[in-house]
Amino acid sequence: MPCAAPPWGLLSATDLTSGEIVWSRPIGTSFDQGPWGIPTRLKMTVGAPTSAGPVTTAGGMTFIGATMDHYIRDFANATGEMLWEKRLPAGSQATPMTYMHEGRQYVVIAAGGAFQAQTRQGDSVIAYALPQE
């Protein structure tokens, strides 16, 4: 366990014109981590350390899956509100990517885990289709 009190990881938005932080929130839960390597299975938002980055879309969303729990999440760029989260089969110490195909936007993430982050190892690449407008 870290020696400092939580949060141990934050997701923040910065106004690139002024340099001011628009919002900041803890990201990641204790669900897949715990003392002596035993997962707590409690979704307490403690702000987990991260080891990858987010991807931000022109549609006003930020996707990230870099935490030590096995989730990918979507946040509103303007407010930091979590809009969506989905459980992954393994840790996702990877930056998501997004692309358009035939007028529909997709988000893709690798869930391969990482020994250093003590997340479950895996070999999945998962694509999510965003709702059509």
CATH at 120? 2.40.128
Cα 8 to Cα 55: distance, rounded to the nearest angstrom: 21
Classify residue 3: in a domain, yes or no.
no
Q: Give me the mean pLDDT over the 35-62 stretch.
A: 84
Provide the number of structural domains found in the chain. Answer: 1
Write the pLDDT tens digit of every residue in 116-127: 666 767 788 999
Write the pLDDT tens digit of every residue in 92-105: 888 999 999 999 99
What is the reported pLDDT for 69?
Answer: 86
Cα 99 to Cα 97: distance, rounded to the nearest angstrom: 7
Domain span at 22: 10-129
Write the pLDDT tens digit of every residue in 65-83: 988 888 999 999 999 999 9
Residues 6+ apart with CB under 8 A from 32: 39, 68, 69, 70, 91, 119, 120
Classify residue 4: in a domain, yes or no.
no
Classify residue 1: in a domain, yes or no.
no
Length of the chain: 133
